[in-house]
């Protein structure tokens, strides 16, 4: 009885796929929500006059230019430094932990190396195409 209930609960069905699609969609729009939140927070910071009273007297256009400049600098740093490290780490983990393609490629490389050794020895009489 318990096994049957557990199998039914853990089975991937439409509701689980829909939940995964929802999480994936929310994750994809998260960057836009964060950007909108940052702009609104910047406008709120400017409207409180804290910056003008305590730091420097700056116009709203100048303040927003500084905000977008900082955002642009962060995007540039992420593009040049963060993205390559992310993909490098992801590729390493994907290749290291039970990648089925790795086993297939290892078999192919063994066959290729065996064929190269035969060709180097001069045993090219049984030329059969590889699949």
Quote the CA–CA distance of 24 and 19 in Å, as a whole number.
9
Residue at token pair 């590889």: 130
Concatenated DSSP letters of 33-90: HHHHHHHHHHHHHHHTTHHHHHT----HHHHHHHHHHHHHHHHHHIIIIIHHHHHHHH
**Residue 121 — pLDDT band, cuts 50, 70, 90?**
confident
Residue at token pair 């390559």: 84
Question: For 116-130, what is the mean pLDDT?
Answer: 71
Alpha-carbon radius of gyration of the chain: 29
The predicted-structure confidence for 88-101, as pLDDT tens digits, reads as follows: 888 777 777 777 78
Confidence (pLDDT) at 6? 67
Total Cβ atoms within 10 A of residue 42? 19
Closest CA to 66 of 89, 43, 90: 43
The predicted-structure confidence for 63-78, as pLDDT tens digits, reads as follows: 889 889 998 998 898 8
Please determine, for residue 37, whether its predicted confidence score (pLDDT) is greater than 90.
yes
């Amino acid at each position: 009885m318990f096994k049957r209930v557990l199998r039914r609960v853990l089975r991937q069905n439409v509701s689980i796929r829909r939940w995964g699609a929802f999480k994936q969609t929310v994750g994809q729009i998260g960057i836009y929500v964060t950007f909108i939140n940052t702009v609104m927070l910047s406008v709120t910071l400017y409207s409180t006059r804290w910056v003008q009273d305590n730091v420097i007297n700056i116009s709203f256009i100048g303040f927003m230019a500084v905000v977008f400049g900082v955002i642009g600098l962060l995007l540039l740093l992420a593009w040049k430094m963060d993205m390559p490290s992310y993909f490098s780490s992801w590729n390493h983990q994907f290749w290291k932990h039970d990648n089925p393609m790795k086993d297939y490629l290892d078999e192919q490389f063994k066959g290729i190396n065996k064929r190269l050794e035969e060709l180097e020895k001069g045993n090219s009489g049984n030329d059969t195409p590889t699949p």
